[in-house]
């Protein structure tokens, strides 16, 4: 359409970046990314009502591995177990899955995760990154049924720590991408 046509879109100044749809935030920082020194480790948490799935990073912050599943009891007991694991494994930061709704809003499960983060910080004084965990459990369950062909009982045993590993790996990949100068 020729310039000046009322049906044509307004012209943009030269050098204006193209418009893109806003993307949902994968990382919800409290104070920016949590970066550790080499040799320190991250502990990923997938917080559930009955269990807490745990994953541990390697010392180079490249690989997340499923670690354990804690059966939830009283918060005091859960906190004591997390402190014990953190001390044993040299954990210097937590990455806690934040169960954001599919539309990006935060509901009661997010509020519970944020409350857990505030409470665990009183027992384990390390930085805590909250990471958008949308679809993590579903992705892990699909992988276990489609690719690994695991029985229902075995999937139930593994899903929480695998989801924690999925969450932590996404965070580690994001950190790597943030520091890559390309």
Separation between Cα atoms, residue 64 and residue 80, nearest integer Å: 23
Q: What is the CATH number of the domain that holds 151?
A: 3.30.420.140
What's the whole-number mean pLDDT along residues 45-62? Answer: 94
| Alpha-carbon torsion angle 83, 87, 93, 98, nearest 10 | -30
Separation between Cα atoms, residue 167 and residue 136, nearest integer Å: 7
Q: Which domain holds residue 148?
A: 27-177
Tell me whether residue 13 is in a domain.
Answer: no
pLDDT in tens, 60-88: 999 999 999 999 999 999 999 999 999 99
Strand ranges for the chain from DSSP E:
27-28, 41-47, 51-57, 64-71, 91-98, 128-132
Tell me whether residue 165 is in a domain.
Answer: yes
Q: How many CA atoms lie within 13 A of 95 on its CB side?
A: 33
Integer-rounded Cα radius of gyration of the chain: 20
DSSP state of 147: I
Question: pTM for the whole thing?
Answer: 0.75
Tell me whether residue 149 is in a domain.
Answer: yes
Tell me whether residue 12 is in a domain.
Answer: no
Q: What are phi and psi of 93, to 5 degrees?
A: -160, 150
pLDDT in tens, 108-161: 989 999 999 999 999 999 999 999 887 666 665 666 566 556 566 666 666 788
Burial status of residue 3 (CB atoms within 10 A of its CB: 0-12, 13-18, 19 or more)? exposed
Query: Token pair for residue 164?
Result: 């924690």
3-class SS of residue 36: coil
% of residues, the chain, pLDDT over 90 = 47
Tell me whether residue 17 is in a domain.
Answer: no
Tell me whether residue 138 is in a domain.
Answer: yes
The total number of structural domains in the chain stands at 1
């Amino acid at each position: 359409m020729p310039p000046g046509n009322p049906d044509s879109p307004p012209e943009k100044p030269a050098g204006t970046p193209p418009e893109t749809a806003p993307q949902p935030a994968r990382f919800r920082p409290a104070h920016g990314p949590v970066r550790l020194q080499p040799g320190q480790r991250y502990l990923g948490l997938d917080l559930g009502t009955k269990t807490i799935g745990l994953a541990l990073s390697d010392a180079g912050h490249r690989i997340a591995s499923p670690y354990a599943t804690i059966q939830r009891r009283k918060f005091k007991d859960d906190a004591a177990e997390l402190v014990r694991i953190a001390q044993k494994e040299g954990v210097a930061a937590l990455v806690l899955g934040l169960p954001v709704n599919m539309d990006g809003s935060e509901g009661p499960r997010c509020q519970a995760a944020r409350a857990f983060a505030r409470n665990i910080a009183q027992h384990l004084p390390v930085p805590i990154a909250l990471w958008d965990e949308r679809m993590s459990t579903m992705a892990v369950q699909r992988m276990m049924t489609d690719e690994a062909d695991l029985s229902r009982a075995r999937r139930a045993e593994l899903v929480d720590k695998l989801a924690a590993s999925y969450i932590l790996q996404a965070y580690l990949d994001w950190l790597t991408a943030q520091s890559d100068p390309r």
